[in-house]
Amino acid sequence: MAVFTPVSPTDAQHLLENYALGELVSLRGITAGIENTNYFLTTTAGEFVLTLFEVLTFEQLPFYIELMHHLAQHRVPVPEPQTRTDGTRIGTLHGKPCAIVSRLKGGYEPAPGPVHCALAGTTLANAHLAGRSFTLHQPNLRGLSWWTETIPKVVPFLSPDQAHMIQTTLTEQQQFAGTETYKALPYGPAHCDLFRDNVLFDGTFESPRMGGLIDFYFAGCDTWIFDVAVSVNDWCIDHATGVFNTEKLNAWLMAYAAVRPFTAEERQAWPTILQAAALRFWVSRLFDFFLPRPAQTLKPHDPRHFERILRERRAHPAPALP
């Protein structure tokens, strides 16, 4: 159960007094989620999602909320934070920061086909281009500096072979980050966590329609090719082995490139960045598994999944970018 903070209908109605969103019709807790309390909120003006932020602070939230607002204003399908009557988009409920965003249509597709992959690629490329004019900046907080800080904490729990691979990969990533190729990679606001369950589809499996990208609370400024690598490492693989499904991968990358063509530097960096994307989630899953936060209630993901993907990326170079 991911509703950590109870919200009553009376609480919601009082909160709505700060918005021009009509009267409360219904309120229902959402069990999905890891770090936030979420409710489906229906009013006489439409359907929304109410989020109470259990970890992120008032100081941290503007980047995420304003990025979603910016993308929505540029017609990228994302949850649009609703503006309060005082012109702000972050409120307070039970002493915690909160926001109300538009509710997107559709649901997530656990076994996407090539058409789903193409829709996701197109939408992420449009989000990257729209983000060029976004003025706030925040680094990817789970990027290279976090890996450098966190890997020594998890190494004691690893076998010698695992420790060698994780430390070798980190050293290679540190060295690559200092190269001119890396410095030339297109860069800007990135989702950084665009797994299958963070994209909604409407329509049918055979004829899906894009519902939208959700859960921007790991977003940050990073290379756009890293955002692509994170995505295809989840969308376009055999999940038992980590091996790429070529049809899905081609569909995803061709659709993205049709909107924003890849650069020569991105093509050169691609094998290394795919390893970076696998490393990022292996490290975070190791950390959550072996060093869970106090009062963490949800079962952590199995770290071995991204260990397999990293081994596969190191052993077999990926198909070239289109």
**Which residue, 102, 135, 158, sits at the end of a domain?**
102
119 in the same domain as 98? no
Query: 89 and 66 in contact (C-beta within 8 Å)?
Result: yes
Element spanning 128, H or E:
helix 114-130
Element spanning 313, H or E:
helix 304-315
Q: pLDDT band for position 297 (50/70/90)?
A: low
72 in the same domain as 168? no
Residue 1 predicted with pLDDT over 60: no
In a domain, residue 249? The reply is: yes
In a domain, residue 107? The reply is: no
Residue 172 predicted with pLDDT over 50: yes
Give mean pLDDT, residues 193-199: 97
CATH number, position 44: 3.30.200.20
Predicted local distance difference test score (pLDDT) of residue 203:
96
CATH number, position 210: 3.90.1200.10
In a domain, residue 193? The reply is: yes
Residue 298 predicted with pLDDT over 70: no
Predicted local distance difference test score (pLDDT) of residue 34:
67
Give mean pLDDT, residues 295-309: 82
Q: Residue 155, exposed/middle/buried by CB under 10 A (0-12, 13-18, 19+)?
A: middle
pTM of the model: 0.95
274 in the same domain as 193? yes
Q: Out of 27-31, 48-52, 106-110, 236-240, which region has the weakest mean confidence (pLDDT)?
A: 27-31
Predicted local distance difference test score (pLDDT) of residue 31:
80
Q: Which of 8, 10, 60, 72 is nearest to 39 (CA)?
A: 8
**Which residue, 48, 79, 102, sits at the end of a domain?**
102
SS3 of residue 157 by DSSP: helix
183 in the same domain as 41? no
200-255 pLDDT per residue, tens: 999 999 999 999 999 999 999 999 999 999 999 999 999 999 999 999 999 999 99
Q: Residue 121, exposed/middle/buried by CB under 10 A (0-12, 13-18, 19+)?
A: buried
Query: 308 and 241 in contact (C-beta within 8 Å)?
Result: yes
Q: What is the DSSP-derived secondary structure letter of residue 196?
A: G
Predicted local distance difference test score (pLDDT) of residue 293:
73
232 in the same domain as 122? yes
Residue 33 predicted with pLDDT over 80: no
200 in the same domain as 82? no
**Which residue, 34, 69, 102, sits at the end of a domain?**
102
128 in the same domain as 220? yes
Question: What does the block give as tokens for 188?
Answer: 């800007």
In a domain, residue 176? The reply is: yes
Q: Which domain holds residue 20?
A: 9-102
Question: What does the block give as tokens for 102?
Answer: 């538009």
47-61 pLDDT per residue, tens: 999 999 998 999 999
In a domain, residue 3? The reply is: no
Cα–Cα dist 177/186, whole Å: 13
In a domain, residue 109? The reply is: no
129-168 pLDDT per residue, tens: 999 999 999 999 999 999 999 999 999 999 999 999 999 9
253 in the same domain as 177? yes
Q: Percentage of the chain surpassing pLDDT 90? A: 92
In a domain, residue 266? The reply is: yes
51 in the same domain as 88? yes
DSSP-H helix ranges across 140-290: 144-154, 160-176, 180-183, 224-235, 246-259, 264-290
Residues 6+ apart with CB under 8 A from 180: none
97 in the same domain as 118? no
Query: 41 and 34 in contact (C-beta within 8 Å)?
Result: no
Around 125, how many Cα atoms within 13 Å sit in the side-chain half-sphere?
A: 17
In a domain, residue 303? The reply is: yes
Residue 2 predicted with pLDDT over 70: no
Residue 295 predicted with pLDDT over 70: no
Residue 32 predicted with pLDDT over 80: no
Predicted local distance difference test score (pLDDT) of residue 300:
80
97 in the same domain as 147? no
302 in the same domain as 231? yes
Beta-bridged to residue 42, according to DSSP, are 26, 47
Predicted local distance difference test score (pLDDT) of residue 301:
87
Q: Report the chain's mean pLDDT, rounded to a whole number.
A: 95
Query: 290 and 154 in contact (C-beta within 8 Å)?
Result: yes
* Number of independent structural domains in the chain: 2
Query: 24 and 43 in contact (C-beta within 8 Å)?
Result: yes
